[in-house]
Structure 1
Amino acid sequence: MNKVEQVTGGLNGTIKVPGDKSISHRAVMFGAIAEGTTTIEGFLPGEDCLSTIDCFRKLGIQIDAQGDKVKVEGKGWQGLTEPIDILDVGNSGTTTRLMLGILATRPFHSVVIGDASIAKRPMSRVTDPLRQMGAEIDGRDNGNLTPLSVRGGQTKGIDYTSKVASAQVKSSILLAGLQSEGVTTVTEPHLSRDHTERMLRAFGVDVDVNGLKVSVKGGQDLTSQHVIVPGDISSAAFFLVAGAIVPNSRIVLENVGVNPTRTGIIDVLQQMGAKLELFNERVSNGEPVADLVISTSDLRGTEIAGDIIPRLIDEIPVIAVLATQAQGKTVIRDAEELKVKETNRIDTVVSELKKLGANIEATGDGMIIEGPVQLKGNTVNSHGDHRIGMAMAIAGCIAKGSVTVENSEAIAVSYPNFFDHIHTLSEK
């Protein structure tokens, strides 16, 4: 439980948000199946990414982790060995789905389990195509829910059209495709984040991208790399919103990843009138990086729908907070995917923000927010969802009175020093 008081003097200063969660996961996994030693700087030592390290250690890979520096002793695809223990992914959907793609081609048996939240999340979106490729996967609800039993082996490439724009689905199938006979192609309805394609290329893999289609040939090996992980834009989003809505604020966020498949939050802030600048733009390990400056802004409501949704799906909880301070109506549509995150984020965001006095209503595929509204202090709950917890804490920075966030320990999944950064910026 954490209490956040209204910030009256503004949020000012410079921070570095934690390393990108998506890239941290992939760096460990790709390092594990690569030949040679992969070194990682800027790794996110949050609980989700530590679950990935734990699982690959159980698969026989030596990994030395010291804070945000990690060394992975890769032994190639054949170096993975049958685990003697259950592979526990904790709260991490990324670990679950991407690892299933790797396990699908390995000639041994493994069992994957997670926490109560993971036990509710749909896995058939990856287990169905992996079965089509030849993997034997079973579990609750006919392999849709954990625990999952995987017996991998000889697999064949497929041409798969995904019903959802999901980087986890795409990545899982592509990883299996790298060790399958023939070519594997994934086609998406919208473009999802492309960290896997970029990092596979950095590890020496030939990846063909043609619009919404991504293809890989089987039989490809990975070569170890030195990976520098940029700051996570999904974590930066909370302070971008805070800087825009807390009076008398100016926040500099250094070394943030600005991959175009992830920058929907930047687009929305700009279309709502936020004072946001990008500078020192550069490329690191194939990933675009920049420093961001956000200042207190006069905001206007907007409509968020269609192709932009996959580019900001994780940021919608804090975008809802942003919209409570914008002039007029903000409408979020086409965001059904929020229903199968750590919580049903549509219902949870709406119910928790209403406790603070927000004028917000849920719809079947999103929400409608009217602003501006003076939020009021109250007790809210993260429901075990790190992004809900952080969004409510940012709301606390502008609420009259104090906001108590119950189950705030969930925030450690992606941003262990989140409350430290609030305090640092408010004391300047």
Structure 2
Amino acid sequence: RAPRSKAYTHRAFVAALLARGKSVIRDPLISDDTVNTLDAIQELGARVHEGKIELEVHGAGVPRAPERNLDCAESGATLRFLTAIATTGSDKITFTSRTGLANRPIEPLLRALTKLGASADLHQEKDALRVTIQGPLKGGVTSISGEISSQFISGLLMAAPFARSDVKINVEGNLESKPYIDLTLAVLGKHGITAERDERGFRISAPQEYKPASHHVPSDFSSTAPVAAGAATAGETIVLTGIDGDYRSEPDSIILDLLPKIGIKIDIKDNQLTVQKSRPRGFDFDARDHPDLVPILEVLASQAEGKTTISGVKRLRFKESDRLNTVPSELSKMGARIKVADDAITIEGVDHLQGSPLSSHHDHRVAMACTIAALAAGGDSVVEEAQVVSKSYPAFFTDLETLGAKFNVE
């Protein structure tokens, strides 16, 4: 069964916290990252009742100060979304991390929030982060880069309805990962929150009140894509079930359009995705709106017939690892012909990859990409720290075994 959307689950949990009353979230993804957010919203005042296939979240409205600092572990969405919505009240709230997350950007979001009236204190050094934030938001005009993380903009959109007056968010540079912003606006819309786009960014009338809502979490195509790629390059025909709900709202569902264009045979029918073994053709892909697809697209391209260019990739430096370099370095060990220059990755496909010792760089998407490359390669491969897939797809190895893959997990 296709995994559920991590991006949607995070947003639904946060919006449910901000709505007074009962919200229902059906089919949420339960992974390391989403559990971090779920635990945190309970510390901030939500009450959660877990059923077999759904969660009931009784929201607090304005978050309350927890009794302790909130550890966001390795979840960027948890840190960025909750830092933003912590400004909706007047309590001081502190977030921490002692993982690689501590080295990823957060200061642009804090600057944007302080322009709206919040106060923030940041202590950031290698593998150690502490952010203390306090509202309320007064409203007004703020600005944020659109080229670092769309989660900054999503966090601002979530918090802005609680401001005392209207909020204008000016987006500087290109707005990248636009489908993720669209997803945020769709989730907020279910809770009765409206925002207007203009040529420079977004306008949010304030104050607005979050209303309880029901959600059905769609499939996650950032995580489904590696399984589909494995079938195309290393397997036979596979069928993935659970392609249900409004699956086209999931940002990386664009993979369903790309795969047939590059020669991979797929079919979607009766909530099922069928993928057949097929050698892909080289392709061009602009990754500015879909950075999480890049690692597995590099795996496909390394075995494709012809040349592939993946552009719009500079933001990959700010992921769980420096994906602009980590994935190419691992695939090169396997004989892939891959080059990184400026804002693009160029790959000349080869007939066969060769097994090799590989590192996940403690990055879930790198681990999945390396595993799929290893399944197609000749000879044995070892992927170190492969367990990091639990960040987004805990059942990854179990699902591959169900589909016939053979490997040892130590």
Q: TM-score, normalised by structure 2?
A: 0.90
Describe the superposition over 1:193-239 as per-residue Cα deviations: whole angstroms up to 9, x where unpaired: 21110011111122324577433211111111221111111111111
1:184 aligns with 2:167: yes
Of residues 306, 330, 343, the one that matches 2:321 is 343
Moved more, 258-267 or 163-172: 258-267
- Match for residue 275 of structure 2? 294
**Partners of 1:195 and 1:321 in 2: CA distance:** 27
1:277 aligns with 2:276: no
**Partners of 1:304 and 1:113 in 2: CA distance:** 36
One-letter amino acid of the structure 2 residue matched with residue 259 of structure 1: S
**Partners of 1:86 and 1:299 in 2: CA distance:** 48
- Match for residue 339 of structure 2? 361
- Match for residue 94 of structure 2? 111
Moved more, 261-270 or 24-33: 261-270
Of residues 24, 28, 33, the one that matches 2:9 is 24
**Partners of 1:375 and 1:250 in 2: CA distance:** 22
The structure-2 alpha-carbon separation of the partners of 1:373 and 1:104, relative to structure 1 and needing over 3 Å to count, comes to farther
- Report 1:16-415 matches (<5 A): 16-65=1-50, 69-77=54-62, 80-140=63-123, 146-160=129-143, 162-164=145-147, 166-188=149-171, 189-190=174-175, 191-193=178-180, 194-210=182-198, 213-255=201-243, 257-259=247-249, 261-280=251-270, 291-305=272-286, 309-415=287-393
- Aligned residue pairs, count: 397
Secondary structure at the aligned position of 1:262 is classed as helix
The structure-2 alpha-carbon separation of the partners of 1:107 and 1:161, relative to structure 1 and needing over 3 Å to count, comes to closer
- The answer to whether the 8 A contact 2:5-2:250 is kept is no
One-letter amino acid of the structure 2 residue matched with residue 422 of structure 1: L
- The answer to whether the 8 A contact 1:167-1:192 is kept is no
The structure-2 alpha-carbon separation of the partners of 1:39 and 1:163, relative to structure 1 and needing over 3 Å to count, comes to closer
Secondary structure at the aligned position of 1:314 is classed as helix
- The answer to whether the 8 A contact 1:165-1:192 is kept is no
- The answer to whether the 8 A contact 2:252-2:293 is kept is no
Percent identical across equivalent pairs? 28
**Partners of 1:392 and 1:404 in 2: CA distance:** 9
Shift of 1:382: 0.9
- The answer to whether the 8 A contact 2:136-2:163 is kept is no
Higher strand share: 1
Secondary structure at the aligned position of 1:40 is classed as strand
- The answer to whether the 8 A contact 2:9-2:34 is kept is yes
Shift of 1:30: 0.8
The structure-2 alpha-carbon separation of the partners of 1:195 and 1:163, relative to structure 1 and needing over 3 Å to count, comes to closer
Query: Runs of 5+ in structure 1 lacking a partner?
Result: 1-15, 281-289
Shift of 1:50: 0.5
One-letter amino acid of the structure 2 residue matched with residue 136 of structure 1: S
**Partners of 1:136 and 1:35 in 2: CA distance:** 25
Shift of 1:187: 4.8
**Partners of 1:134 and 1:174 in 2: CA distance:** 15
Q: TM-score, normalised by structure 1?
A: 0.87
Describe the superposition over 1:324-362 as per-residue Cα deviations: whole angstroms up to 9, x where unpaired: 111111112221110000000011101111122211122
Secondary structure at the aligned position of 1:402 is classed as coil
- The answer to whether the 8 A contact 2:112-2:144 is kept is no
Query: Runs of 5+ in structure 2 lacking a partner?
Result: none
**Partners of 1:69 and 1:116 in 2: CA distance:** 30
One-letter amino acid of the structure 2 residue matched with residue 294 of structure 1: V
**Partners of 1:228 and 1:202 in 2: CA distance:** 11
Shift of 1:390: 0.6
- The answer to whether the 8 A contact 2:31-2:393 is kept is yes
